Structure 1
Amino acid sequence: MNRASYTMRLLAAAIAIALGCGCGVKGAPIPPETTRPMQILDLEAIPEHRGIQLSWTRPQQYFGGKRMRDLGGFVVMRAEGQEQYAPVVEIPVTDQERFQVVNRFSYTDHTVSGGHTYRYEVYSHTTDGYRSLPSNEVVVHYVRSSAAPHPKTPASPATERPPSIKPAPPPPSTP
C-alpha cells in the first residue's frame, strides 16, 4: 500500500469516528428562553427594626415546564423611590446535590434609611447563567423607630410606629 492510499484511509477513518461520536446530544435543540427559571411571583417584604426582610419561594421549574435542578442563585434588586433598579446582593444556591433543598429564601436589607420608600425585585438564575424574568415588585415605605426597645421590655406604642407596606400594582396584562 502506498503512502497516499494509507493517508486517505487514515483520514476516512478519522472522519467516520468523529461523525459517529458526535456531541452526545440526541434530539431537537432547546430554545434558550425555555431554559430560564420560572418567574418568582410571591416576593414579600416585611419591615423590621433593623431593615427590610424579603422572602420568596424557590422556583421549581424552567420556563419551558421541565423540573429545574441547576438553580444557581438569586439577585436582589432595589430602587429608592422612582430611581432605576440596582443590584443589592447576589445570593448563591449551594444545595443542588442535596437530598433536601431549601424551598423558601430570605434576605434582610440592613442598608435602608427611615422615611424612604424602596422597591424590590428578585431574579433567579441557573448555574450556567440563564436568568428569570423579574419577580413581582414589592414597595415598602420604611419607618425606623427612634430607639430600639429593651430586649426584656415590651415595645410601647409611643416608641414603635408600624411601617406601611404597599403591594405594587399588578403588571399590565398582555394578550
Structure 2
Amino acid sequence: MSGGQGRLAALAGLVLIGAALWLGCGVKSQPVPPERATPERIVGLRASIERKGILLTWERPQRYAGGGRMRNLARFDVMRASATGQYQKIAELLVTDQQRFQQQQRFNYLDKDVRVGETYRYEVISVTDDGYRSAPSNEVAITRTIPKPPPSPEHFVLPTPTPLP
C-alpha cells in the first residue's frame, strides 16, 4: 500500500469511528438536575368518612417541580400517622396508564384499617419510574366516626298531591 492509499484508509477509518460515536450517543441535551425531575407536590388531598373506612382522593400531578410536563409517573405512596405519631407507608398505588391517550386524573384510596374514635393524618407522595419522589402532599387529618345511616323508610312520609286546576 502506498503512502497516499494508507492515509486515505486511515482517514476513512477515523470518519467511520467518528460517525459511530456520534450516532451511538443517545443523549443530545444537557442533563437535568434531580430537583427539576421530581413530581410537583400534590396540594388537593382530601379525606372523607365512608361506611368501610376513610376515603382519600387527590388529583394526578401534571408537571415536574422544574415546570416540565410529567410523562413518567409510576406510583403513589400513601402515608398515614396517628394524631401524634410518625408517618408510615400504608399503600403503594401503581400508575399503569402512561402510554394511554386518556390518563386517569383522579385517584383514591380507601383506608379500611382504622378504628372509630381515632384521629389519623395522611399524606401522599408521587414517585416517577426513575425513583424521584415529590415533596409530601398537603396533610389531612380526620377522626373516624360512624357515618349517619340513611333515612329510615318507616318514617318516610309521602307528600300530599295537589289537584291540578
**Structure 1 residue aligned with 2:32:** 30
CA-CA distance at 1:128 after TM superposition: 1.8
Question: Which of residues 41, 49, 52 in structure 1 aligns to 2:51?
Answer: 49
Question: Which of residues 71, 83, 86 in structure 2 aligns to 1:84?
Answer: 86
Instruction: Summarize deviations over 1:117-172 as a string: whole Å, max 9, x none.
Output: 10000001112211111000000111236xx85x8846x9xxxxxxxxxxxxxxxx
Question: Which of residues 62, 65, 83 in structure 2 aligns to 1:63?
Answer: 65
CA-CA distance at 1:25 after TM superposition: 1.0
Q: Describe how 1:24-173 pairs up with structure 2 within 5 A.
A: 24-144=26-146, 149=149, 153=152
User: 12-21 or 133-142, which moves further after superposition?
Assistant: 12-21
Change (3 A) 1:18 1:82: farther
The CA distance in 2 between the partners of 1:14 and 1:75, in whole Å, is 49
Name stretches of at least 5 consecutive residues in structure 1 with no aligned partner: 157-175
The CA distance in 1 between the partners of 2:151 and 2:121, in whole Å, is 33
Which ranges of 4 or more aligned residues in structure 1 deviate by more than 3 Å?
11-19, 151-154
The CA distance in 2 between the partners of 1:28 and 1:99, in whole Å, is 28
Larger radius of gyration: 2
Q: Tell me the TM-score normalised to structure 1 length.
A: 0.74
CA-CA distance at 1:15 after TM superposition: 5.4
The answer to which structure has the higher helix fraction is 2
Q: Determine if contact 1:58/1:102 at 8 Å carries over to the other structure.
A: yes
Instruction: Summarize deviations over 1:19-49 as a string: whole Å, max 9, x none.
Output: 3234321121110110111100000000122
SS in 2 for 1:87: strand
SS in 2 for 1:42: coil
**Structure 2 residue aligned with 1:160:** none
Amino acid at match of 1:109: D
Instruction: Summarize deviations over 1:31-81 as a string: whole Å, max 9, x none.
Output: 011011110000000012210000000000111111111111101000012
The CA distance in 1 between the partners of 2:19 and 2:152, in whole Å, is 78
Amino acid at match of 2:89: P
Measured on the aligned residues, the alpha-carbon RMSD in Å equals 2.6
